[in-house]
């Protein structure tokens, strides 16, 4: 059997592959450009999780020792819509990945009495 001979409903196939509730908040951006691109920067295919934050997380792929998809402030070029759908199907559930702030507790100071 040849794939080209099959009649496939693309929308139904995508809805079966992307069946998690958080997938509904994801957006595949076809011609993504960063806010401040360099002269040599070209449009890429990116996946963004629209969580309502100022810096919505983008899907990336780690090629290091712990290979796999993860959410970050910077995205990865998925190259095509089809590859983006496959990446999204393999992605972990997003969590907030915006700028990190630290709160360091200071030791209590004694107040001198007057």
Separation in Å, CA 53 to CA 12, 32, 56, 86: 30, 18, 5, 25
Measured between alpha carbons, how far is 108 from 66 in angstroms, rounded to an integer?
A: 41
Strand 68-72 relative to strand 26-32, pairing = unpaired
Q: Where are the domains of the chain?
A: 7-90
pLDDT tens per residue across span 23-51: 999 999 999 998 889 999 999 999 999 98
CB 31 within 8 A of CB 23: no
pLDDT tens per residue across span 88-102: 999 999 876 555 555
């Amino acid at each position: 059997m040849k794939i080209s001979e099959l009649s496939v409903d693309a929308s139904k196939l995508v809805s079966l592959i992307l069946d998690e509730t958080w997938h509904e908040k994801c957006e595949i951006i076809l011609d993504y450009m960063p806010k401040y691109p360099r002269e040599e920067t070209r449009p890429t295919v990116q996946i963004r999780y629209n969580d309502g934050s100022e810096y919505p997380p983008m899907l990336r792929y780690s090629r290091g020792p712990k290979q796999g998809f993860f959410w970050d402030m910077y995205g990865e070029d998925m190259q095509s819509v089809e590859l983006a759908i496959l990446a999204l199907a393999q992605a972990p559930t997003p969590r907030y990945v915006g700028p990190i702030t630290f709160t360091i507790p200071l030791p209590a100071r004694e107040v001198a009495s007057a």
